[in-house]
Chain A
Amino acid sequence: MLKYIFKRLLSAVPVIFIVGILAFFLSRLSKGDPARVIAGTDATDSQVAAIRQQMGLDLPLPNQLWDWFIALLHGNFGYSYILNQSVSSAIASHIFPTLSVAIFGEILSLAIAIPLGILAADKQGTFTDKLVQGFATLTTSMPSFLVGLLLMLLFATRLNLLPVSGFVSPTESFSQYILHLILPAVSVTTLQIAIVARMTRSSMIDALSSDYIRTAVAKGLPRSQQLWHHGFKNAAIPVLTVVGQSFGELIAGSIIVETVFDIPGLGQLVVNSILRRDYQMIQGILIFVAIVFIFVNLITDVLYAVIDPRIRQESF
C-alpha cells in the first residue's frame, strides 16, 4: 500500500515539472509589467528597472525558470512583491474559505445526488425516474452564478434568513461561519448534484441488471440492502471518479461563486493575481492546484482499492 502511494507520488514529479513550465510561460504571455505595477504610474524608468532587478525579472527567461524550480525544490513557492507576502502564506490564508465551500458543497451534493440516483435507477422508466432526470437537466443548465444570485435574492434579501455575502472565520463565530457557507455551498452544489445523480443512476442500472442482484433477491434480502450493499457498492467506482474530478475543481476555486458571494478564497486570489501581473503568485497557485489534483486523484485511486478487492490485489 505505502509502496503504491510512493510510486504514484514519484510518477507525479514529471507532471508537476511540466505544469511548472506551462505556468511559467503562461503567466509571462500576458502583456504588462509587474515591476511597473509595483512602482506605480509616476515612477521613473530607473526606479522600475531597480525593482525589476530586485525581482529577478531582468534575467533571461531560462534563468528565471531555473531559479524558480530550485526554490520550489526547497519548498519555496515564491514571493509576491505586490502583496509583500510569500506565495505559500497567501495560499494558506485563502485556501480555508475555498476548502470550506468545497467540502460543505460536496457533502451536500453527495447526500442528495446519490440517493436520488439510486432511487431513479430502482424506479427506472417510471414517473419518479423522469422527475429525477428532469431535475438533473434543469440544474445542469443553470449556471452557478445565476443560482447564486437567485438564492441570494430569495433567502437573503427577501426572506432575510441568511447573510447576503461574505465569509466569517469559525474561530470568530461558528454559527455565522456555517450560515455564511450555506448559500455559496448550495450554488456550487447544483451542478454537482446533476452530474453525480446521473452517473449514479446509469451506473446503478448496470449493477441492478447483474446476476448477483438476482441472487440477492433470491436470498430474500430487503430491497434497501440489495440496492446499497450489493448495487451501490458495485456502482460506486464510476461515481467516485466523477466526484474526485469535481472536488478537485472545487478546491481549485470556484471563481464565479466566490465573486458573487464575496468569499476571500483561492479563486479570488487567482483572478486578482492575474489582474496584477503577479507572476510568482500565479505560478505558485497553478503548481499548488496541480498538486491538489494529484492528491485528489491519488485518494480516489486508493478508494477504488478499498472498494474493490480485485484492484487491491493488482495495485498493492
Chain B
Amino acid sequence: MSNLLEIDNLKVGFKNSSSQWTNAVDGVSIAVRPGEILGIVGESGCGKSVTMFSVLKLHDQRNTRYAGEIRFEDTELLTVPEKDMRQLRGKDIGFIFQNPMSSLNPLLTIGQQIRETVTSHRKHLPKKEVEALCIKALDDAGADDSAVWMSKYPYQLSGGMLQRVVIAIALVNEPKLLIADEPTTALDVTIQAQLLKVLCHIRDERGMSIVLITHDMGVVAETCDRVAVMYLGQIVETASVDELFANPRHPYTQGLLAATPPMVGKIPERLNTISGSVPQLSEVAKGCRFASRCPFASQECLSGDIPMFDVDEQHQSRCIKFNTIPDFRKVTA
C-alpha cells in the first residue's frame, strides 16, 4: 500500500533578524502509512514541530524557505498554489495544536469556530447538516454535552474541554491525516490519557493516519505504531514502537529511553541523563550531530555526514556503529 504522506529530504530554513538563514530541519525523510499512528519524538527545538508545520506551510512565508519534497497522496505540497493548499488545510489534513487555551479565538463561540471549519470547505451544505456534523465531531472528541458547548465561549471551558474542541475542529471534515503537535503537553495526566484514548479510538474507527508529535516516551509507547526520533533537525532513528523500545540502535534513542522511568520493575534511584547540552544550530560541526554528547563517539564519527543505515527493513539508524554499540541503558545501569 502506498504511503499517505511522504516527506523526502526536507530542509526548512528560517531567516533571523540579521538576514542569515539557518536550517532548523535538515534533510528529514519520513513516510506516514495509511491508518498508522506515527510518533515523532525529540527534545524541544529538535525540529519535530517545524517538520510537521511545513506539511501545511504554517510557517511565516516571509522568512521561511523550504527545500525537498512533501507529497500528500498525489499532491506535491511545497509547490502547490496557495489556493489548493487552503483546500487541504482543515479538510484533508487536520491539525491539533499544543496549547488549547490560546489556540481558540477568545471572542467567538465554540460553535462559530467549528462551523466555519465546515462551511469554508463546503459552502452549500444546509445549516442543519453543518450543525449535525459539528455536534458529532464534538461527541467523537469526547464532549459530554456537545449542544451546550456549542454556545459557550472559550473562557467558559477548562483546558481539557478546550482541547476536545480543538480535536473536534480538526476532525469535523473527516481528514485523512491528523497532525497532533504535543496535544496533551499543556494538560494534566488524567486528561492526557483520556485524550490519547480518543485519538486512538478515532483512528480505529475511521482508519485515518495520525502523526503524534511528543517528547514523552510514555505517550509513544502507549499510542504509536511507529516512531521517528529526531535530534537537531535530523531523524536519527525510525522503527516500530516494539522494536525501538526493545532494541534501540542509536545512542540518542538509548539515552532518551534511559531517561524515562521504566513501566515495569524497580524504578532506579537516579534516572539517567544525557550529558552535555544540545549545540546551537549555527555551530553544528561536520559529521554526527550527536557526537559531542555520545559515549561511543570516536574519530570516524566526525569524518562526514552520516547517512541512515538499515538495521533491518523496518528499522533505520543514523549511527555508523549501529550494529556494534552496546545498549547504553544496560551499560550504565
* Contact among A220, A222, A230 for B105, CB-based, below 8 A: A230
Q: Is A307 an interface residue (CB 8 A)?
A: yes
Q: Are B108 and A218 in contact (CB-based, < 8 A)?
A: no
Whether A219 lies near B116 (C-beta < 8 A) is yes
Pick the interface stretch among A13-21, A131-139, A155-163, A208-216: A208-216
Q: Which residue of A lies closest to B166 (CB)?
A: A215
Some 26 contacts from A to B, beta carbons below 8 A apart, are A212-B102, A214-B58, A215-B95, A215-B103, A215-B166, A216-B105, A217-B56, A218-B56, A218-B94, A218-B95, A219-B117, A220-B89, A220-B120, A221-B86, A221-B116, A221-B117, A222-B120, A229-B116, A230-B108, A233-B107, A233-B108, A309-B106, A309-B107, A309-B155, A310-B155, A313-B155
Report Cα–Cα, A219/B97, bound state, in Å. Answer: 12
B121 located at the interface, meaning its Cβ lies under 8 Å from any Cβ of chain A in the complex = yes
Q: Is B91 an interface residue (CB 8 A)?
A: yes
Q: Provide the A231-248 mask, 1 if CB < 8 A to any CB of B, else 0.
A: 001100000000000000
Q: A211–B97 contact, CB under 8 A?
A: yes
Contact indicator A215/B104 (Cβ below 8 Å): yes
Q: Would you list the 4 A-B pairs with minimal beta carbon distance, nearest first?
A: A220-B90, A220-B89, A219-B90, A211-B102
- The answer to whether A212 touches B105, judged by C-beta atoms less than 8 angstroms apart, is yes
> Known pairs A215-B97, A218-B94, A308-B106. 4 more at Cβ < 8 A?
A215-B103, A220-B86, A229-B116, A310-B106
Alpha-carbon separation in the docked complex, A308 to B109 (Å) = 11
Q: Does A62 make an interface contact (CB < 8 A)?
A: no
Taking the nearest CB of chain A, how far is it from the CB of B125, in angstroms?
15
Is B89 touching A225 in the complex (CB atoms < 8 A)?
A: no
Question: Number of B residues whose C-beta is below 8 Å from A?
Answer: 28
A220 touches B103 (CB 8 A): no
**Complex contact A218–B90 (CB within 8 A):** yes
Residue pair A214, B97 in contact (C-beta under 8 Å): yes
CA separation between A216 and B170, bound complex, in Å? 11
Binding site of A, secondary structure by majority: helix, strand, loop or mixed? Answer: helix
Q: Is the CB of A308 within 8 A of B107?
A: yes
A125 at the interface (CB under 8 A from B): yes
Interface centre among B56, B104, B105, B169 (most CB of A within 10 A): B105
Q: Give the Cβ gap from A152 to chain B, nearest Cβ, in Å.
A: 43
Is the CB–CB distance between B107 and A234 below 8 Å? yes
A window 296-316: CB within 8 A of B = 307-310, 313
A222–B106 CB distance below 8 A: no
B302 within 8 A of A: no
CA distance A139 to B333 in the complex (A): 72
In the bound complex, do residue B91 and residue A220 qualify as a contact, i.e. CB atoms below 8 Å apart?
Answer: yes
Among candidates A219, A234, A309, residue contacting B120 with C-beta atoms closer than 8 Å = A219
Chain A residue nearest in CB terms to B93: A218
Q: Which residue of A lies closest to B170 (CB)?
A: A218
Asked if B99 is at the interface (CB within 8 A of a chain A CB), the reply is yes
| B153→A220 contact, CB < 8 A | no
By the criterion CB–CB under 8 Å, are B107 and A211 in contact? no
B87 at the interface (CB under 8 A from A): yes
B320 an interface residue at 8 Å Cβ cutoff? no
A220 to B172, CA, bound (A): 13
Interface flag for B270 (CB, 8 Å): no
User: Which residues on the A side are within 8 Å of B105 (C-beta)?
Assistant: 212, 215-216, 230, 233-234
